[in-house]
Amino acid sequence: MALRHLISPLDLTEEETTRILDLADRIGTHKEAYAHLAEGKQLATLFYEPSTRTRLSFESAMLSLGGQTLGFAGAEQSSATKGETVADTVRVVSCYADIIAMRHPKEGAPLCASMYATIPVINAGDGGHYHPTQTLIDLLTIRQRKGRLDHLTVGFCGDLKFGRTVHSLVNSLVRYPGNEFYFISPEELRIPDYMIERTLKPSHSTYREVSDLEETLPKLDVLYMTRVQKERFFNEEDYIRLKDTYILNKEKLELAPSDMPVLHPLPRVDEISVDVDSDPRAAYFQQVQNGKYVRMALILALLEITDPLTGEKVL
């Protein structure tokens, strides 16, 4: 079998995605069966920009499979400061480790890495580009909450212009039949034209761009919140005027269906009020837990380790 990497969520077919999500579910319910499968294997976490949550999740995933980890947590710790190319770095790390998780501020760096590595590379986020493990986490959480990934009305709220996780999840959801989208954002942070032209129109998806969260909430099966960053606005008045509109709190949540999960890729600042945390619809910490299981599943899949519960390889 050829060496597999995961650079974009669409590197996996729908069927392969289903197999990864199924495995993540099995890992969550049968942890012991998977606790020693990666013994003697090493994951290198090459993080050219800090991302504690993602790095710790990958490390915890590898350790929970019985494997080991090594790596760096920021560019200042890497050989990049000595002018080394990403290509050389991954060739070197291929001599040390068995699989790489790479985070890089430059779009395309993990793809470039995968061309030179002799071990599998997982993209752990590259600039505004891809973050495929987050997309798998989002899919798994929606599937656990709603029982399906098709015929859903999904609302995305907040910064839809720069929100990499939003674009990535939309790209995956249009592959399933019958999904409809509400894009809820201020004018300044609307979903980019290229998402409309290259993803939504070609897939004949039904979508609406709206600006009012409260009005939209009753119509949704799933709500995906994102952070509205102050620095995205031209002036502070606009920011202050707009940000409250896109904050979800207990009061607004009363307008939503009782089985509408609220997702958020975290970290949040104040776009979801803490009084929502205890609501059963809050799904963002479940996403965190799923993050570990999805990454365990991916490591097993790319290392071509047989799943002991099915007796088969995953991919």
Known binding residues for carbamoyl phosphate: 53-54, 103, 131, 134, 266-267
Q: Is 52 a catalytic residue?
A: no
Q: Is 145 a catalytic residue?
A: no
Nearest approach in angstroms of CB 228 to a copy of itself is 12
Residues flagged as binding site: 53-54, 82, 103, 131, 134, 164, 227, 266-267
Cα separation of 17 and 312, whole Å?
16
Among 74, 105, 128, 178, binds a copy of itself (CB under 8 A): 74
Contacts by 272-276 with C-beta closer than 8 Å and gap 24+? 272/225, 272/247, 272/248, 273/247, 273/248, 273/249, 275/249, 275/250, 276/248, 276/249, 276/250
Nearest approach in angstroms of CB 266 to a copy of itself is 7
Among 292, 294, 296, 298, binds a copy of itself (CB under 8 A): 292
* Orientation angle between helical segments 14-29 and 132-146, nearest 10 degrees: 70
Nearest approach in angstroms of CB 133 to a copy of itself is 14
- Between 68 and 205, whose beta carbon lies closer to a copy of itself? 68
Among 77, 206, 306, 310, binds a copy of itself (CB under 8 A): 77
Nearest approach in angstroms of CB 50 to a copy of itself is 5
Among 14, 84, 244, 254, binds a copy of itself (CB under 8 A): 84
Q: Catalytic pick from 5, 19, 26, 131?
A: 131
Cα separation of 26 and 301, whole Å?
14
Site string for a copy of itself, 242-271 (x = CB under 8 A): ------------------------xxxx--
Residue in the block written with tokens 């060739």: 91
Burial class (CB within 10 angstroms; exposed 0-12, middle 13-18, buried 19+) of 180: middle
Task: For residue 64, state whether it binds a copy of itself (rule: CB under 8 A).
Answer: yes
Q: Is 82 a catalytic residue?
A: yes
Cβ neighbours of residue 95 under 8 Å, at least 6 residues apart?
Answer: none
Interface positions with a copy of itself (CB under 8 A): 35, 40, 42, 44, 50-53, 56-57, 59-60, 63-64, 68-74, 76-79, 81-84, 87-89, 91-93, 95-97, 266-269, 274, 285, 288-289, 291-292
Q: What residues are labeled active site?
A: 53-54, 82, 103, 131
